[in-house]
Structures are given as structure tokens and as C-alpha cells.
């Protein structure tokens, strides 16, 4: 038998007992321990007086046609309109279980059916004849004859009917505490006594089966998407966290590039003002310089080279522009880098763009390298 959780739900007291069934081992669980077994299917066995059993002679046809015939076969045996009842039929049984539809609906609405594979009346869930007495409540299972659960008083009133059903057979009987006085002299009841409810159920759980399952057809539970999402919340939160980190990282990078671009534009503006003090800066600074510059001292190609160099510096990680200086022979820019290799990497990159760049003096500032780069002018 694979791992499963049996829930014994007492409709009379609204109490539940939980048992983990694993092969031949039975372990009682506390309600707060169920979270550890969220992936294990639950089988709920209902202890109630909601169901009546009825022998029925079904026509020899398929199960679908038998179910269609049931309302006509039982109408005369009911005290109320047949539409007010729900019934359970087991293909391997000759007994029909009847219950009030409204009461059954109310019951199902009270129960958390998430991860529940079956909900069964316990009196019809044993694989053998069985009698269980707990305080003033009785559970009776006579295979293919009679399934009943209710008060001890009503049960005692039906003892003649039970004796007739048994026909000189003995029935295993399990009692919590002492045997009720009304049953002491009943020789057809073979009693086993238990000091506590846990030991009583531990002895009877191996006899339970999943026969009549209420959770079929109109009572089949809907998917609990809220609970499913709760179970997946760790993975959802992780995905959101990873996406948030990625988003923030990109925003920081974009912000850094914007700052570098702003600094570069300011430094280019300073160079422009030093070269053309009488000119007002326009929106397209490069085009403006192209129109004003003296090609003998500051050619258009020099400006293009400076623009390409500035763009590459702003795109390289951990490399930032500090200042730009120029004279008639060369343009000198000062950059801040992680190490000398990064300066050499920039020189090689610019050489692929036909820009003659060389490394000048450098110095250490804290953990960074401040170096000069010389751009050959034309």
C-alpha cells in the first residue's frame, strides 16, 4: 500500500483524527503536522448518521443505465421527494446509500477537500463485517447487507433485525471502554475492548477500504487554485526576486550610463568653450564644431575620433572619463580604470577603428588606476 493519510471525521463532535498509513505502519498525526505531507493524498472517512442503506434489485444492464433507473426504483420507499436525495452506488455492492442532498452539501462545504481523493461513509468502508462502539455512538458494517451509523439507543432497538441478518454468525465488535449493559448478553457480538480512541482506530484502520466515494459526479471537488498557488509560493517568490534583481541591475546600469553621458557632454562643452569662447553652444555640438574648427589645428577627424572614444569609454564596465585636454599636437584624456590591462584593452579596441591611441602616465588613487590616454591629432 502506498503512503496515504486517513482522516476520521466525527460529524457529531466535529473532531478529526489523522493517521499516516505507510505499508503496514500506522502513525497518528497532529493537525499541525499535515503540512509536512502536503503531497500525500487524504482519504476522509465520515462518522455520521447522515446515510441510510437500502437493498435494491438493479436491472441487469450497464452501470450508467442502472443509475438512471434508481429514482424510479426507490421513490416508493422514501418519505420525501426523490430529488431531495443523493445516493451512492458501488458497482461491487448490492446496497444503495441514501442521504439528504442539502445536508450533504452543507457537510462538503465545511470540509477542506484540497488533496483529498475520497470522502466515504465509514460504516460502508470496511472489508469485513464489523461493529464499533464509541461512547453512545455505533458504527455497523454488514457486507452487502446493511450499513448503519447512529446512536447506541437506536441500535439497541434494532438488535432483533441485526440477529436476523447475521443468521447465527458472530460479528467482531470493538468497544471503547466497557461493554454497554444492553449488549453484555449478546453472544453473537465478539468484543475487543480498548482503553483509548487511538488504539481502537489503530486496530481497525487496516480493514478500511475506499468503496463508496462521495466525491464523484456533482460532488467532485473543484481545483483549489488558491491553495495550489500557496504551495508554489516559494517558487513564485524566488522568480519574482530574481526578476526584481535583474530589473534593478539594469536600471542601475542605465542610470550609470546616463550619468557618464551627462559628464561627457559637460566635459565636451568645456573643451568647446575653451576653443571657441565667443560661441554659444547649440544642440548638435559636433556639427557646430565641424563648422567652426580650423582644420589645420582641430580637424573634423579629430572630433570624430573623440566622439568614438568617448562612446566606447561610456560602454566599458568599470571605466570612467575624468577630463579632456587638447592642444595643437594632441588630445589628452584622463580616465579612471580598475587596472592597467583595461587601458591596454581600450587602446587595442580603438586601433580597430583606426584611432591612434597611446597610454601616457598613470597613478594609483585608492584602489583604482588613473591614467592618461593620448590621441594623435591630424
CATH number of 70's domain = 3.30.420.380
Q: Examine residue 48 and state whether it is found in any structural domain, yes or no.
A: yes
Residues 117 and 42 in one domain: yes
Q: Is the dihedral of CA 204, 209, 215, 221 positive or negative?
A: positive
Residues 179 and 215 in one domain: no
Q: Examine residue 32 and state whether it is found in any structural domain, yes or no.
A: yes
Q: Examine residue 120 and state whether it is found in any structural domain, yes or no.
A: yes
Q: Examine residue 310 and state whether it is found in any structural domain, yes or no.
A: yes
Residues 17 and 61 in one domain: yes
Residues 22 and 161 in one domain: no
CA distance 280 to 269: 10
Q: Examine residue 229 and state whether it is found in any structural domain, yes or no.
A: no
CA distance 88 to 95: 9
Q: How many domains does the chain have?
A: 3
pTM: 0.58
Residues 285 and 345 in one domain: yes
CATH number of 271's domain = 3.30.1360.100
52-64: burial string, b at 16+ Cβ within 10 Å, e else:
bbbebeeeeeeee
Contacts for 138 with CB less than 8 Å, ≥ 6 apart: 131, 132, 148, 149, 150, 151, 152, 155
Q: Examine residue 156 and state whether it is found in any structural domain, yes or no.
A: yes
DSSP code of 4? E
Q: Examine residue 3 and state whether it is found in any structural domain, yes or no.
A: yes
Question: What's the pLDDT at 350?
Answer: 83
pLDDT tens, per residue, the chain with 378 residues: 578 899 999 999 989 999 998 877 888 999 888 888 888 888 999 999 999 888 887 777 777 787 788 888 888 888 888 888 888 876 566 788 888 989 988 888 888 777 788 899 999 999 999 999 999 999 999 887 889 999 999 999 989 888 888 877 889 999 999 999 999 989 899 999 999 999 999 999 989 987 788 887 667 765 555 555 665 666 667 777 777 777 767 666 666 666 666 666 776 777 766 766 666 666 666 666 666 655 444 556 677 777 788 888 888 877 888 888 776 667 888 888 888 888 888 888 888 888 888 888 888 887 788 888 888 765
67's enclosing H/E stretch is helix 63-74
Among 190, 223, 256, where does a domain finish? Answer: 223
Question: What's the pLDDT at 362?
Answer: 81
Instruction: Give the residue numbers spanning the domain of 46.
Output: 1-125+208-223
Q: Are strands 146-151 and 137-142 parallel, antiparallel or unpaired?
A: antiparallel
CATH number of 141's domain = 3.30.420
**Nearest-CA neighbor of 121 among 53, 46, 42?**
46
Residues 213 and 69 in one domain: yes
Question: What's the pLDDT at 293?
Answer: 54
Q: Examine residue 228 and state whether it is found in any structural domain, yes or no.
A: no
Backbone angles phi, psi at 115, to 5 degrees: 65, 20
Question: What's the pLDDT at 297?
Answer: 47
Residues 120 and 188 in one domain: no
CA distance 208 to 201: 10
Got the DSSP string for 165-230? HHTT--EEEEEESSPPGGGTT-TTEEEEEESSHHHHHHHHGGGB---S-SSSGGGPPPP-HHHHHH
Residues 176 and 219 in one domain: no
Residues 188 and 215 in one domain: no
Residues 260 and 352 in one domain: yes
Residues 279 and 291 in one domain: yes
Residues 100 and 177 in one domain: no
Amino acid at each position: 500500500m502506498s503512503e496515504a493519510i486517513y482522516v476520521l471525521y466525527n460529524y457529531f463532535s466535529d473532531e478529526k483524527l489523522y493517521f499516516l498509513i505507510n505499508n503496514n505502519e500506522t502513525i497518528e498525526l497532529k493537525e499541525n503536522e499535515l503540512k509536512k505531507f502536503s503531497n500525500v493524498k487524504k482519504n476522509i472517512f465520515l462518522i455520521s448518521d447522515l446515510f441510510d442503506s437500502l437493498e435494491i434489485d438493479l436491472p441487469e444492464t450497464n452501470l450508467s443505465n442502472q443509475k438512471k433507473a434508481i429514482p424510479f426504483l426507490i421513490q416508493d420507499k422514501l418519505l420525501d421527494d426523490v430529488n431531495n436525495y443523493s445516493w451512492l452506488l458501488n458497482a461491487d455492492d448490492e446496497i444503495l446509500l441514501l442521504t439528504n442532498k442539502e445536508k450533504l452539501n452543507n457537510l462538503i462545504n465545511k470540509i477542506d477537500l484540497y488533496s483529498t481523493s475520497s470522502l466515504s461513509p465509514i460504516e460502508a468502508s470496511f472489508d469485513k463485517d464489523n461493529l464499533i462502539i464509541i461512547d453512545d455512538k455505533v458504527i455497523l458494517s454488514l457486507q452487502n447487507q446493511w450499513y448503519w451509523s447512529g446512536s447506541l439507543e437506536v441500535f439497541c432497538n434494532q438488535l432483533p433485525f441485526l440477529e436476523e441478518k447475521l443468521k447465527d454468525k458472530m460479528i467482531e465488535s470493538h468497544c471503547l471502554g466497557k461493554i454497554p449493559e444492553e449488549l453484555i448478553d449478546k453472544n453473537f457480538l465478539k468484543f475487543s475492548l480498548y482503553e483509548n480512541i487511538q488504539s481502537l482506530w489503530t486496530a481497525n484502520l487496516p480493514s478500511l477500504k475506499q468503496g463508496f466515494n462521495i466525491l464523484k459526479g456533482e460532488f467532485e471537488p473543484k481545483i483549489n487554485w488558491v491553495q495550489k498557488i500557496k504551495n508554489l509560493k516559494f517558487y513564485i517568490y524566488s522568480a519574482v526576486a530574481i526578476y526584481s534583481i535583474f530589473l534593478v541591475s539594469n536600471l542601475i546600469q542605465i542610470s550609470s550610463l546616463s550619468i557618464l553621458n551627462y559628464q561627457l557632454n559637460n566635459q565636451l562643452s568645456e573643451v568647446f568653450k575653451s576653443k571657441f569662447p565667443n560661441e554659444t553652444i547649440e544642440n548638435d555640438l559636433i556639427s557646430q564644431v565641424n563648422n567652426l574648427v580650423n582644420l589645420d589645428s582641430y580637424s573634423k577627424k579629430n572630433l570624430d575620433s573623440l566622439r568614438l572614444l568617448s562612446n566606447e569609454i561610456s560602454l566599458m564596465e568599470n571605466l570612467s572619463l575624468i577630463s579632456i585636454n587638447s592642444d595643437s599636437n594632441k588630445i589628452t584624456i584622463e580616465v579612471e580604470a580598475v587596472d592597467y590591462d583595461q587601458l591596454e584593452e581600450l587602446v587595442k579596441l580603438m586601433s580597430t577603428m583606426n584611432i591612434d591611441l597611446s597610454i601616457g602616465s598613470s597613478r594609483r588613487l585608492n584602489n583604482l588606476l588613473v591614467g592618461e590616454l593620448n590621441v594623435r591629432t591630424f
